[in-house]
Amino acid sequence: MTRFFLIRHAAIDGLGDRVAGRMPGVALNAAGREQAARLARRLAGEAIDAIYSSPQLRASETAQTVATVHGLKIQTAEALDEIDFGDWTGKTYEELRALAEWRDFNMLRSSVRVAEGELLLEVQTRIIGLMARLCADHPDGTVALVSHGDPIRLALAHQLGTPIDFILRLEIGPASISAVELHSHGPRVLWINRGLETT
């Protein structure tokens, strides 16, 4: 059995107002740095064997706070990267709501490709493939994966047997932790979107 902590990066400027996507240099803001520090304190008592991060700066900054506490080196995993939002990268949600393609995407996320970007099934496939490989590398361990809201939703949807079109029913807040165990007989989702309220 391998246990995974699925961690969303902490807060950034423009969160909830625009699609940061894979824009370079998007770092944590002051609130995000505080969230990341609290996240590290919350996980300090957990026996984490390895930590993998999306290549995006905001994710690696979040991962570093946890890695430092555990004396671990961050390993970058492209499979944890944010969705390639293609032409929508950097646009505000107000701008996107005017686009028919955006409305189509949000009506049927399972089969509408992001404009010049990824299909969500591709995103799901890459993150689930990574988790399967890490089960072989850490057969009795605990692994932290620091990623982004939608990739985490897609990973959880797969483990829950939930259609991709329903992923927005899963709330994944900044610096939140979701936990999954992958057993030989199948997955167990332990919790979803555990925040920092009790830290």
Q: Which CATH number do you get for residue 36?
A: 3.40.50.1240
Q: Is residue 199 part of a domain?
A: no
pLDDT at 198 over 60: no
| pLDDT tens for each residue of 52-70 | 999 999 999 999 999 999 9
Separation between Cα atoms, residue 32 and residue 151, nearest integer Å: 19
Q: What is the pLDDT of residue 197?
A: 57
Residue ranges of alpha helices (H) inside the chain are: 30-43, 57-70, 93-96, 100-107, 120-137, 149-160
Q: Is residue 39 part of a domain?
A: yes
Instruction: For residues 19-27, give the mean pLDDT.
Output: 97
Reported as a pLDDT band with limits 50, 70 and 90, residue 74 is very high
pLDDT at 173 over 80: yes
Q: What is the DSSP string of 114-152?
A: -TTS--HHHHHHHHHHHHHHHHHHSTT-EEEEEE-HHHH
Q: Is residue 31 part of a domain?
A: yes
Q: Using only the alpha carbons of the chain, give its radius of gyration.
A: 16
Per the structure, how many domains does the chain have?
Answer: 1
Q: How many residues does the chain have?
A: 199
Q: What is the pLDDT of residue 199?
A: 40
Q: How far is CA 151 from CA 7, 49, 172, 197, 198, in A?
A: 10, 22, 10, 23, 25
State the amino acid at position 118 in one-letter form. E
Q: Is residue 90 part of a domain?
A: yes
pTM for the full predicted model: 0.96
Task: Tell me phi and psi for residue 186, to 5 degrees.
Answer: 135, 175
* Site of tokens 């950097």: 90
Structural domain boundaries enclosing 146: 2-194
Q: Is residue 45 part of a domain?
A: yes
Q: Is residue 49 part of a domain?
A: yes
